[in-house]
């Protein structure tokens, strides 16, 4: 089942990218040109397929294997991204810093507001915050600092954050592209 899903994702990603290239083109000034990139569709389809398959219970017997494989592949992806980074070509634009600061302020405001309204203990708020910003690995560390029994909560919140983040990052990408192409 996993092989079939991977095959579909690999085959459908370029197909969807080509179809959207016909619709929106590849001009970088067009804020929707990101839809013509196969990597985008690979992430969206993989996330959607993984989320859908996780609801079926097909892989519970092999959970340890898939977790290890996923962690190993995650390290490979992070390392390959790091190898492509060239800091000398990075341009510092104040608008990007402002968007990042605004993003964190909104996060902090929602965190305090939700914690106060729901009367959530601060350690749960800290775990949720770290899950949103850092993902499963760092959320589980923060959770473990409060109590070892909360580690699984940190992992679950981190995974949920990654799933939501994959889709929310599409919106962020459009906003960043809009800022980058504005005069």
Q: Which residue has the higher pLDDT, 141 or 90?
A: 141
Residue pair 126/137 in contact (Cβ under 8 Å)? The answer is no
Distance CA 106, CA 181 (A): 24
Q: What is the pTM of this model?
A: 0.53
Query: What integer pLDDT is reported at residue 1 of this predicted model?
Result: 61
Residue pair 182/164 in contact (Cβ under 8 Å)? The answer is no
In the chain, the largest separation of any two C-alpha atoms, in whole Å, equals 55
List of residues 6+ apart from 111 with CB closer than 8 A: 125, 128, 129
Query: What integer pLDDT is reported at residue 113 of this predicted model?
Result: 93
pLDDT in tens, 54-106: 777 776 777 677 667 766 776 676 677 667 767 677 677 788 888 888 988 99
SS3 at position 147 = coil
Query: What integer pLDDT is reported at residue 67 of this predicted model?
Result: 65
Distance CA 2, CA 70 (A): 12
Whether the per-residue pLDDT at 11 is higher than 90: the answer is no
pLDDT in tens, 106-124: 988 998 999 999 998 888 8
User: Among residues 148, 102, 103, 108, which one has the least CA distance to residue 129?
Assistant: 108
Q: Which residue has the higher pLDDT, 59 or 145?
A: 145
Query: What integer pLDDT is reported at residue 71 of this predicted model?
Result: 63
Give percent above pLDDT 90 in the chain.
7
Residue pair 119/146 in contact (Cβ under 8 Å)? The answer is no
Give percent above pLDDT 70 in the chain.
88
Distance CA 128, CA 124 (A): 6
DSSP designation for 26? S
């Amino acid at each position: 089942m996993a092989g079939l899903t991977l095959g579909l994702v690999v085959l459908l990603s370029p197909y969807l990218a080509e179809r959207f290239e016909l619709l929106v083109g590849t001009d970088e000034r067009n804020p929707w040109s990101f839809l013509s990139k196969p990597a985008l569709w690979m992430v969206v389809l993989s996330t959607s397929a993984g989320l859908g398959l996780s609801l079926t219970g097909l892989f519970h017997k092999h959970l340890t294997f898939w977790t290890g494989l996923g962690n190993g592949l995650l390290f490979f992806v992070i390392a390959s991204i790091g190898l492509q980074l060239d800091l000398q070509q990075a341009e510092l634009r104040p608008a990007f810093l402002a968007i990042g600061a605004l993003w964190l302020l909104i996060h902090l405001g929602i965190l305090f507001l939700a914690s106060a309204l729901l009367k959530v203990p601060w350690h749960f708020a800290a775990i949720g915050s770290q899950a949103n910003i850092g993902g499963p690995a760092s959320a589980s560390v923060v959770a473990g600092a409060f109590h070892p029994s909360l580690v699984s909560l940190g992992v679950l919140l981190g995974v949920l954050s990654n799933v939501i983040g994959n889709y929310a990052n599409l919106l962020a990408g459009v906003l960043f592209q809009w800022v980058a192409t504005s005069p």
